[in-house]
């Protein structure tokens, strides 16, 4: 895969996505916790998807997206959902983060977040919807978004070693860090340093398994998937960034 020339400035759509992802979406999740008792998670989840579509559609910069450009994103989301379901018997051993990272690298930060959010939402129709769903959508999405930005800036290459290192760190610290804290917020009304420390210590083994799974799937599947996606993107001119 041809590596991009590092760019210093982020595009307008990326700044819009940053505002949506780092401000609007967290505020929406907080609003659900504070005023809805976390019980309107379907509403919150759909809100996250709608917010994500705004910067994603800005990728096309005035032209209407073709069906095939949207289908490839749907296919990547479907792969993530199917992969999560296929390994349901192995707790935390899932390929979702690997797929999301590949989506961000191949199709940009906005697409990476959208794929992650969609996988979190749709797959929970099989695993169970709940107040954790918006948190999972955000956690998966932010990893794909960050992968896309780092790749665009030239700070992340498409080589196996770099993708595996990023995948491990992102899964353990970003996904694990967010989901562990969300668990504490969902199930306890009193937050103390002891409770925070306890939830991170008890969650560390599961986060380690999840991070190791991400490394495994990136090592096995990143090269063939990226090569195939790049050929498809070049042949059909999909989602030019």
Q: Does residue 159 or residue 51 have the better pLDDT? A: 159
- What pLDDT score was predicted for residue 95? 94
- What pLDDT score was predicted for residue 96? 95
pLDDT at 118 over 80: yes
Q: State pLDDT tens for residues 183-203.
A: 887 777 677 888 889 889 999
When computed from its CA atoms, the radius of gyration of the chain, rounded to whole angstroms, is 17
Q: At a CB cut-off of 8 Å and minimum separation 6, what does 221 contact?
A: 95, 98, 102
| Fold of the domain spanning 66-236 | Arp2/3 complex 21 kDa subunit ARPC3 (1.10.1760)
Can you give the residue ranges of every domain in the chain?
66-236
pLDDT category at 1 given cuts 50, 70, 90 is low
CA 215, CA 224: separation in Å to the nearest integer?
15
Average pLDDT of the chain to the nearest whole number: 84
Residue 90, token pair as written in the block: 């192995």
pLDDT category at 49 given cuts 50, 70, 90 is confident
The rounded percent of the chain whose pLDDT value lies above 90 is 42
Backbone angles phi, psi at 209, to 5 degrees: -65, -45
The distance from CA 116 to its chain's CA centroid, rounded to whole angstroms, is 3
Q: State pLDDT tens for residues 201-212.
A: 999 999 999 999
Single pTM value for the model? 0.85
CA 78, CA 73: separation in Å to the nearest integer?
9
């Amino acid at each position: 895969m041809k590596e991009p020339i590092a760019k210093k400035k982020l595009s307008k759509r990326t700044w819009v996505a940053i505002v949506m992802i780092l401000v609007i979406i967290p505020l929406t999740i907080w609003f659900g916790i504070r005023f809805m008792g976390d019980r309107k998670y379907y509403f919150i989840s759909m809100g996250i998807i709608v917010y994500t579509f705004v910067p994603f559609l800005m990728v096309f910069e005035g032209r209407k997206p073709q069906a095939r450009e949207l289908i490839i994103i749907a296919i990547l989301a479907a792969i993530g959902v199917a992969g999560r379901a296929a390994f349901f018997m192995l707790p935390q051993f899932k390929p979702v983060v690997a797929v999301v990272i590949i989506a961000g690298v191949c199709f940009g930060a906005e697409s990476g977040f959208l794929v992650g959010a969609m996988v979190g939402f749709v797959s929970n129709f099989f695993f169970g919807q709940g107040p954790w769903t918006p948190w999972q959508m955000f956690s998966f999405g932010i990893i794909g978004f960050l992968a896309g930005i780092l790749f665009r800036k030239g700070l992340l290459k498409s080589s196996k070693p770099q993708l595996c290192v990023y995948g491990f760190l992102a899964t353990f610290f970003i996904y694990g860090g967010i989901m562990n804290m969300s668990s504490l917020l969902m199930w306890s009304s009193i937050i103390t340093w002891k409770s925070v420390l306890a939830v991170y210590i008890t969650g560390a083994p599961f986060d380690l398994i999840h991070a190791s799974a991400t490394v495994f799937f990136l090592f096995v599947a990143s090269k063939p998937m990226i090569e195939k996606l790049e050929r498809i993107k070049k042949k059909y001119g999909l989602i030019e960034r």
